[in-house]
A and B are shown apart, each in its own frame.
Chain A
Amino acid sequence: MRNSGAVGIFARRHHHHPLEALPWLAAVAAYFAFPSYLPLGAQILATILFALSADLVLGYAGIVTLGQAAFFGAGAYTAGLLAAHGWGEPVSGLLAGAVVAALIGLLSGIVILRTTGLTLLMLTLVVASMLYEAVNKASWLTGGDDGLQGMQVWPIFGWFRFDLFGRTAYCYCLIVLFLCWLAVRRMVHSPFGRSLVGIRENIRRMHAIGAPVARRRLVVYTISAALAGASGVLIAQTTGFVGLTFLGLDRSGSVLIMLIIGGVGRLYGAFIGVPLYMIAQDRFSEIDPVYWYFWIGLLMVVVVVFARGGVLGLFERFWRWTR
């Protein structure tokens, strides 16, 4: 069979490309190369999962959301509350957090995905604000402004303790991220994933050819919520803390920024944008955490005005230019 032309491209696009191993090799290499930065590394890996979840709704389903932190925080608080009330088993906590986040995604999705455009954008923000306010006011349960106190996370499978150097945390996050990435990758290349792109590109035509647009949007919204929840759980379990910032608008905003720096709708944008953002944040924050927001804001403006498509977009342009 000839693997050329359009058919060939479609037939090959779901095969694993050697380049795709690169982020994973880099992640494994980082484990050995930077042993003193493993806690930061674990945060980066967990945040990549968060950005991946945002890429699914934003890059594939075309839903611009300002409420992704709602699911992140829902997962984190679920696992945090379990761990603070005597059930610190991490893997079941991870599943519980993902399920709760997915439920919130499903319920809010049923309600808000009926709208489109600006109204939808605002409703995502409203849902997140609602959850924020609920958690803030239920301080008898969640600790409110002070954050949740007293999380006790048990060793994974009763064996691997979360150590001070972040070794277990790093490996745990890496494995969870890898499994989620495999699932997401499979999904976006499936007919379901292709139909999502169709919905993003031309929703009217998808309606016309009889695709169940509303159901597909709801399904992807729910899956994305579950992934965001899992990401929140990872951060909560590895840092042993959950606070209101997990639910804030700045978290929803900054995940979009990380994604845009890497490149939206490409599945790998998260792997580039998140490390760049978080390493830069770590460096800058040592100098002054306040300036960091200024520079990231400025960078955002520059990226939107001059470099749409992020780092991967620049690579693509360069690639086309050289041929």
Chain B
Amino acid sequence: MAGKVALDLRFRGGDGKSACPLNISDILSAAVTIAFNGLAYAMVLYLISVGLSVTMGMMGFVNLAHGVFAMAGGYVLTSLMSRWGVPFLPALLAAALIVAGASIPVERLLYRRFYGGDDLDQVLLTIGLVFMSVAGATYIWGPLQQPLQPPAWLNTPFDLGFRSFPAYRSFLILSGAALVTALWLAVERTRFGARVRASVDNLRMAQSIGIDTSRLFMATFALGSGLAGLGGALGADLLAVNPGYALQNLVFFLIVVAVGGLGSIRGPFFAAILIGVTDTASKYLVPEFGAFFIYALTLVVLLWRPNGLFGRA
């Protein structure tokens, strides 16, 4: 289920058992490797999870099917590139736009009627959608993982002088950082962002001062799904695109949202970094424990702060 993360720790030779760095430079090198890969993973987790956080916090909807949008992004990207020869960047953009567009009918026809309703209904509805996505993806693309072939300019390592970094993941971190900055600026500085913040804080008050929350929900949902599609596409290298995607990775997306705080836009970012780096570190240093530490960490954080690190009581 969880933990099918293809973390490729490229700087390390050997079999993963060489977990004891002996001297300072080894320790530093390991720390840089962990930070670098953890950050790349965190970007993917955040892009995918931020929409889920808003859906849960603002609309009161447990969207267990959120991973389906991320998976769809990955499939759109890989299909466009391998079947139709679309270049990488346009295919990325198309993945985000197509997923965002496709999410609108889902929201209008299905999700809307369950906002703020019974948890169980939402859980069942979205689990149903996840099951459909598993079968649908197998039907269309087959059971095997879809490989991502990055363009040539992302295949050459990126040299920083003291060491070189894999280009694709450097690109992932940089573009993720740019997107996060843009998203936060949009939320802080635009009218749309102000409306979103108002609705998360106090839905009824937002409605009574004349914000059309129904349309706002639709727009926010589409934006969140589009980001998830983009995250799924960008992260096709880290989270393997296969039919079981939504089921395998669900727990990680939920953890990021729960630890970050429901409805928070910044919280999941720090949660994603915490989870991404911890997961990478534990897989690098103690691979025999797998994802165990992440779950333990989540348990502890949520017991300490049940509303997440940045959630409101």
Question: What A residues does B139 contact at CB under 8 A?
Answer: 290-291, 294
Of A119, A129, A293, A296, the residue contacting B302 (CB under 8 A) is A119
Given A123-B302, A137-B292, A305-B125, check contact A118 B258 (CB 8 Å).
Answer: yes
> Is there a chain A Cβ closer than 8 Å to B123's Cβ?
yes
B128 in complex: contacting residue of A126, A134, A297, CB < 8 Å? A297
Contact, CB under 8 Å: B131 / A121: no
> A133 with B295: in contact, given A115-B302, A299-B128, A304-B121 (CB under 8 Å)?
yes
Q: Which residues of B contact A27 (CB under 8 A)?
A: none
B1 touches A118 (CB 8 A): no
Task: Give B273 Cβ to nearest chain A Cβ, in Å.
Answer: 19
Q: Are A304 and B125 in contact (CB under 8 A)?
A: yes
The listed residue (A118, A248, A297, A303) touching B129 by CB distance below 8 A is A297
Q: Are B302 and A249 in contact (CB under 8 A)?
A: no
Contact across chains for B258 and A293 when beta carbons are under 8 A apart: no
Is A156 among interface residues, defined by CB-CB distance under 8 A? no
Within the complex, the shortest CB–CB distance from B115 to chain A, in Å, comes to 14
Q: Which of B113-153 contact A (CB under 8 A)?
A: 113-114, 119-121, 123-125, 127-136, 138-139, 143
Q: Tell me how many residue pairs across A and B have CB atoms closer than 8 Å.
A: 141
Tell whether A130 pairs with B292 under 8 Å between CB atoms, given A118-B262, A293-B132: yes
Instruction: Count contacts on B: residues with CB < 8 A to the other chain.
Output: 47
Q: Is the CB of A121 within 8 A of B119?
A: yes
Q: Which residues of A contact B130 (CB under 8 A)?
A: 253, 297
Partner-contacting stretch, out of B5-13, B227-235, B283-291: B283-291
A304-B128 contact in complex given A118-B62, A122-B255, C-beta closer than 8 Å: yes
Q: Which residues of A contact B254 (CB under 8 A)?
A: 122, 125
- A260: chain B residues at CB < 8 Å are 120, 124
Chain A positions 294-323 with a Cβ under 8 Å from a chain B Cβ: 294, 296-301, 303-305, 308
**Residues of A contacting B: mostly:** helix
Instruction: For the complex, give the distance between the alpha carbons of A114 and B136 in Å.
Output: 38
User: Chain B residues near A121 (CB, 8 Å)?
Assistant: 62, 119, 123
List chain A residues, Cβ under 8 A from B133.
Answer: 297
Contacts of A299 in B (CB 8 A): 128
Interface residue A162 (Cβ < 8 Å from any Cβ of B): no
- Please, could you name 5 A-B residue pairs with CB atoms under 8 Å apart, sorted by A? A111-B303, A133-B290, A134-B292, A297-B127, A297-B134
Residues of chain B whose beta carbon lies under 8 Å from any beta carbon of chain A: 1-3, 56, 62, 110, 113-114, 119-121, 123-125, 127-136, 138-139, 143, 247, 250-251, 254-255, 258, 262, 288-292, 295-296, 298-299, 302-303, 306-307
Other A-B pairs, 17, CB within 8 Å; known A130-B295, A137-B288: A111-B299, A111-B303, A112-B299, A115-B302, A119-B302, A126-B298, A133-B2, A133-B291, A136-B290, A256-B127, A294-B131, A294-B135, A296-B131, A297-B132, A300-B124, A300-B131, A304-B125
